[in-house]
Structures are given as C-alpha cells and as structure tokens.
A and B are shown apart, each in its own frame.
Chain A
C-alpha cells in the first residue's frame, strides 16, 4: 500500500464557547478514497474547512502535512495552489454564466487581460468529457440539473490540477441515477491517481467507493477502519458513530398513557409528499405518515437531507417546497394548513431550527418578539395594550428564565440559549395544541438545554402534543415516547421508547434506497 499523502495531526479548533474539534487525527493514503462519517455536528465539515484553509492557519492548533510537507494555508487559494480542492454541499457555481466560464472562474485562460475563448472552450470540452458530460461548454449552469452541476464542480477542480479532492455530502441533493454516476466518477478518478476524501453518512455509498473510513464523534476522531476488511460491517460503523455516552441529564419523565387511547391523534399527517422548490423532479418528502397524541412527545430522527425540516415546514403553511399530496388531520378531522395563519388558527406551532433567520426579528425587543404571533391576544380592536404585552413578556422572562435586564432588550443581544427561550415563549404564548420543535437545543449550552427540556416536558404534561425533531440521539432517547426515523425523504422506522437505542435508530437513519425497493 502507498504511503500517506495527507496527515492531520492533533487538530484542535475552538469556536467561541464550543470546542468543535479536539485532538483529531486523520491519515489519508496516496490514491485511496477515504470516507469520513459521523453524526450531524460531529465535526466533519469543520475538519475539512481547516484542511482547505477556510479556517486559516493560526485559527486552529495542530499540524497538517501534505505530501510530506508541513502546510500552513492562509486561505482557500493557498490550499488550491497545492492541489487540495473542496467541493461544498452548497454548490458554488454562478448560475447565469456558462459551464466554461464557471470552470475557469478566477483562473481564466487569458492573454493580456482578455479571455482566450478558443483555448477556454477547447480545454472546457476536454474537462467536461473527463467527468462524463456531453453538454456544450457554452450552456448556462442554470439550465442543467443539480447532478450535472456537481460534475461541473469536479471539472472545475480538475482544471486546478487537483491532487486531493474533498467532497462534502456530494450525493445529498442527487437522485439515484446521478448519485451512481458521481460515485463511479470518483472511482475512475482514483484510477487516474487522484486521492479523494468523501464526507457521507450513507453507508452503502461508503461501502461502494471507499477504501477506508474515519469516524468522528463529538469533535474527536474515534477510529479508522479498512472498509474492505471483512469485520467492517455497517453495524460496526454505526456503533462507532453513536458511541456517545448518555451522560446528558434529562428531566425525570414518566410517559403517561394518553387519557383516552382511542381518541384520534392531536395531529396526523397522511401520505405527505413534497417536491423540491426548484428541482421539481426531486421528492424531498416522500409519502410520509406520522401521528402524535396529546401528552405525547414524538421524536423524528434523521441525518442531513432526511427531509425532517422540509416535512415540518411544508405542513406548517406550505412554507417549504411544492406540495404534491397528503392530508393533515387535527383530532381526527381534516384541516387546511395552506397558509401559516391557517396552521396557527388550527392550533399548530412550528419552532424553527434557524432562529436567527426564521424565528426572530433580531433588531426588535423581547416583548415584541414574544407577542408577534398572537398580537390579538393582547389587543382590543386592533390596538395593542402595551402594558398587558409587557406584563406577558415579563411573565415569560421569569418563568422561562430568559436572562436579560428588561423585556425591552433587543433579541439580537441575547445568547443563543436565551434567544431560543424567546422563540419558545412566542409560540407557547400563541397557545397551540401541537408544537413542532425543530432542533430546539441546537447551539446552546448545557444549562439552557436542561431548562428547555424541562419546558418541553411541562408542555406535554399540560396535554400538548409535541413533535421533537433532533439530530442528537441521546436527546431523543431521553425525551421521547416514540421516535420516527427518516432517511432521504422517506419514513424508515417507528421505534417505541422501550426499544429505542442509538444503534437501532442509526440503523434506521442510514437505511437508504435499497431498503425500500
């Protein structure tokens, strides 16, 4: 076997308040395809950003050796200069420029500042052939599909004389056929001597293309396995990914039986299907049916691209994608949830995973953020009673322990945990029967997490139905009565509390296409 082309030694990367990577070691051999896998937030993307210079030298600790030399990349250009090219999950192509222009963007074939079109087209055609694309190089990027765009990105990497190609979840947005094409291309490039690192959590993909796999968990490198070895089964990889201790503390929760088990669920979603807003051929949510009863906390587990947020948002006022079928029932009767107001009027609340962009008006104050959805509750004939509003907000500030001097503090100045408490307050104030919580503890500290768990527990105890979307399995195991799993837009499992373990869930979450055939 060939020697190492890349060694990352004892990498430590800290963001304010969070240690994203602690002592990560990664060794990639010359000419292999090396997979990196781990749960959401395990540090995969951060590690690749350190490698490619997005996080420049000096902002992390540790050492990077490429082709035996110590590298101190100060930006992404420096790493590209050495032949390390990263292709991000969100493609970085300019939609209204041609394929050729995109391939050579920032790296143009030019003479004296003017583009040499003849050479550009010749070279572009050659590169496009290499990645298996027959399209004319003057086609606009916007006119080809996402699958082909991914290939254009690789052609762009080839134009930079790539030695080490890094692909971050390259098939997350692709259909089966395009995924296959891409994976075959990676193998072909391997034959041409190009080393690849592929971040993926699709185990069948890893088995297909990778030679070895490094597992990250909670910012640490756990182990590196030889994929071709007989003992490296999917279960073996899964147990590496989920080995996290259940040391998080959760409020003591006694899942009480629903008062009347025969009563219709508070919320039932039947055969819900949603297409991608732009790529309309692609089903982002595919025939999903779930239900939740009053007093119950139901989890939805899934990895990136599983379609959990898309499911929730499309149900909540069709705020994501294109509706392609399915019904929503509330207490057994079908309801309309075509607009957000209809959903809210029917007693549904959706607490977003992205509080800064979709949850809060950061420049406005705590009290006004809390009252916004249910302004009419503190208003008479369209006129807001400011005293009552302030009083309501003060109540939440105390009961939710929002740390702010007054309720007139702009929300943008609060910490993540306190912002999350404001979003929760806002939706609790709206008085819903069903709360869909999307990653309610993302990016907040342990203390605030515990407080939020307590609030969720209280909501269920009050007889509300709670849908709890989370990427942290221990959290789901600690809080939920029942857990659904999703993968690639489909429902892949429903696990009762008693049977739920991290391994069981992860097995369902990584079930990919072959299962449903």
Chain B
C-alpha cells in the first residue's frame, strides 16, 4: 500500500501561494492575512486565548503604569505560577483522556510534607529525598490509576477520595505543624536562579547564552521541518511567510531573555518548566502514547475497536499526574521553605480551570499542553496584575471565575455559530 503513496506532488497549489517568485510586499501581507485567518478558523480556541492573554498583559501593563513587565515582576510571575503550570500540564492529559483529578492539591501538600520529614526530621540528603518524593507521587498516581482504569471506579470518585485522604495524611505526617527549613539544594528548586558567571555585562550571561542556544535550536528545527516537508513533496508555507514566522519567534524569545537577563537571570524552575512543556508537547503530538490519549478521550469505543489498550493508557495518565503533582509539591515546599498542612489548597481547581481556559473539553479528546500553559498564564497574569493594583482576594476570585466562564462560554458560542 505504501508504494503508490509517494508519487504525486499536490497538483494545484491554492491561490495566493505562488511563493518566492515575486509579488512583493502586497503579496506578503495577503499571504499573512490568509495564513492567520486559516489558523484562526482551524484552531479558534487556542489562538483566541493567546490573543486574550496578550490583551490582558497589555491592559495590566497600562493600568499598573508599566510595573507588570518590569524584569523583577516577570521573574516573580514565573516563580509564583510555576507549580500551577506543572499541575496544569498533567491535568490537561487527564482531561484529554476524558477524566478529572481532584486529588492533586492534596497530593502536592502530602509530597511537600514527605520531603520535609525526610530532609528536616531524618536528615536525608536532598537529591535522595527528591527522587523518593517523585517515586511517592508515582505510587500515589499509580494506585489511583489502577482503581480508575482496571477497577472501573469513576475518576471523580477515586480522586475525590484521594483529595480527602492525602490531605489527612499530610496533617498526620506533619502533626498539624509547619515543618522547615529545607536544605539549601532543595530551596533553590523553587526560588533559585541560574548562577552568574563570566564578565560583568550588566546582563546575566548564562541566561543570554541559553536564549541564544534556544533561538538557534528553534530556527534549526523549523528549517529542518520545512525541508522534510519539501522532501516528502508536501505543501510548504511560502518562503516569505516562513521567514516572517521565524523573525516573530526569535523576537519573542529574545525579548523574554533580555527581560530575565537584566534581573537575576532565568529562574531554575523556568528551565524545568521549559523542558516539561517541550517534552510533553512532543509526547502529546508525536508519541504513540499521546495519540492514544486523544483517541480514548475522543471516542472510547472506537479507540477500543482500533486496538488501543485503553486501560493501560488511562493508568499511565494518572501515574504521570502523580509524578507531576509530586514535582509541584516539591516546588511549593521549596518556595515557602517549609511544608505546611494547608499547602496546595485549591490547586486542583486552578489546574482544572487552566486546562479549560486553555481549550480542553469536558467530554475529552481536545486540548494541547501549550493550551494548558496559556490558560495557566491567563490566570497567573490576572492574579499578579490585580495584586499589583491592590485588588483584594475577594474580587480576584470573582474576576477569575468570570474569566473561566467567559473563555468556555466563548468556545460554546463559537462552536454553535459554526454549526456543529
């Protein structure tokens, strides 16, 4: 079957894509508009949220008189939201698979407590404790996963029980007290920055270097991608547009790099988060495992009849959520420099809200890792911006609730309008 596939190049290129041959600026603008509109139509939700995030940033930048995008505040924003974003990545997978996980907030607290007992009470070396904590998260996730996937207990029930259970265990472990401080190494996970080395340039050298490496990597990846598409005789984006896209990406990375480099440099957790986003984004898009998650969430009977091992996939989705919750727990504990029985309160709800704002669907099968990050950032920027403006937490909650309603409401409206 595969021999007769390679032969044909797309017969007629769509109008307006005569590419690099000429046509100049007018053509370029036309192409750009077409590309953007096409992308919008295909992926209304995510582009919509990206635009909304941009608007929110601009609004708060104006309202706070430029405080929002000060280097120190951007750094803060990253540190404050890192653990929610980590949870949101895992939650996105859970929701795409058609489930929900209410236990992550409590699990976060429990793992923090476990870390404190290990390092503070028993003097375990922090790298060992870190590995043990991640293992503990994996075990917790695996147990819930077995109950959901193989015993068929609804995830809502299992994780609701988990939420109560882990919260209780946290209090037992900590005897109701706050336990700290953590060893230096662990503190750095949630608070630290990359070390400063090299000559004094007024900028953080390693951060600049990393930014540069990132730019090279992204450009290389994009060029390679385009070349492979051409190799397989598939349609490619015209050259001008491709260059424009590259310039936009490079500019965005450069701006963030300069912002961070002009303060303390890149927070360690940002690097961790970056690796997670790229890694999970890749898994969800390109790994067989990721595809199977979409398949079981989109249409479970059809996935089963296609030979997808739905139970195994569900199990691993929850195991993975446990590990990420453990990581988030370590970050929270590290940031507070103490384990507290009240840590991680309502984190599950923030993670769930991030996923839905970022394009997930209640019925499963839809969503991206990047969407979860965008959703988390919308909530994070709202939080941070309102803090800068001195809005009380009472009104902050009201506004965040409205934001969630507006995002999902827009989606429902948009779908109905397109007549599906």
Contacts and interface: CB of A to CB of B under 8 A. Distances in A.
A355 to B, nearest CB: 9
Contacts of B1: 395, 428-429, 431
Interface in A376-405: 376, 379, 382-388, 390-392, 394-396, 398-399
Contact of B42 (A339, A408, A431): A408
Contacts of A360: 299, 302
B295 to A, nearest CB: 6
Interface in A203-253: none
A375 interface: yes
Interface string A364-375: 100010011101
B288 A363 contact: no
A341 B304 contact: no
Chain B interface size range: 35 or more
A363 B298 contact: yes
A362 B287 contact: no
Interface string A389-425: 0111011101100000000100011000000000000
B288 A382 contact: yes
Contact of A357 (B232, B294, B301): B301
Contacts of A362: 298-299
Given A361-B295, A361-B302, A391-B6, A344 B307 contact: yes
A382 B289 contact: yes
Contacts of B201: none
Given A382-B289, A392-B2, A429-B1, A319 B420 contact: no
Contacts of B291: 368, 371-372, 375, 384
Contact of B304 (A319, A368, A395, A431): A319
Contacts of B232: 387-388, 390-391
Given A391-B6, A399-B4, A428-B1, A357 B299 contact: yes
Interface in B193-233: 228-229, 231-233
Given A391-B232, A429-B1, A375 B302 contact: no
B5 A395 contact: yes
A350 interface: yes
A376 B291 CA distance: 11
B298 A426 contact: no
Contacts of B5: 391-392, 394-396, 399
B306 interface: yes
A15 interface: no
Contacts of A352: 305
B303 A361 contact: yes
Contacts of B366: 363
Nearest to B7: A395
Contacts of B2: 392, 395
Nearest to B364: A363
Interface string B27-43: 00000000000000010
A340 interface: yes
A394 B306 contact: no
A358 interface: yes
A339 B310 CA distance: 12
Contacts of A408: 42
Contacts of B336: none
A375 B298 contact: no
B309 interface: yes
A318 to B, nearest CB: 11
B305 A395 contact: no
Interface string B275-307: 000000010011111011011001101111111
A387 B287 contact: no
Given A384-B288, A394-B234, A372 B299 contact: no
Interface residues of A, number: 47
Contact of A340 (B229, B286, B305, B365): B305
A386 B294 contact: no
A359 interface: yes
Interface string B2-38: 1011101010000000000000000000000000000
Interface string A25-67: 0000000000000000000000000000000000000000000
B294 A368 contact: yes
B365 A364 contact: yes
Contact of B228 (A343, A371, A375, A387): A387
B399 interface: no
A319 B301 CA distance: 9
Contacts of A395: 1-2, 4-6
A277 B292 CA distance: 27
Contact of B420 (A350, A357, A412): A412
B302 A359 contact: yes
Given A368-B294, A431-B1, A387 B304 contact: no
Contacts of A398: 8
B160 interface: no
A389 to B, nearest CB: 9
B308 interface: yes
B82 to A, nearest CB: 27
A387 B407 CA distance: 33
A316 B282 CA distance: 33
B305 A364 contact: no
A426 B294 CA distance: 16
Contacts of A426: 306
Interface string A256-296: 00000000000000000000000000000000000000000
A118 to B, nearest CB: 40
The 10 lowest CB-CB distance pairs between A and B, nearest first, are A395-B5, A361-B298, A340-B307, A373-B306, A341-B307, A361-B299, A344-B307, A384-B286, A375-B288, A391-B232
Interface of A: 316-317, 319, 339-341, 343-344, 350, 352, 357-364, 368, 371-373, 375-376, 379, 382-388, 390-392, 394-396, 398-399, 408, 412-413, 426, 428-429, 431
Given A359-B302, A384-B291, A399-B4, 5 more contacts: A360-B299, A361-B299, A368-B294, A372-B303, A379-B288
13 contacts: A317-B307, A359-B302, A359-B305, A361-B294, A361-B295, A361-B298, A362-B298, A368-B291, A368-B294, A384-B288, A386-B285, A395-B4, A398-B8
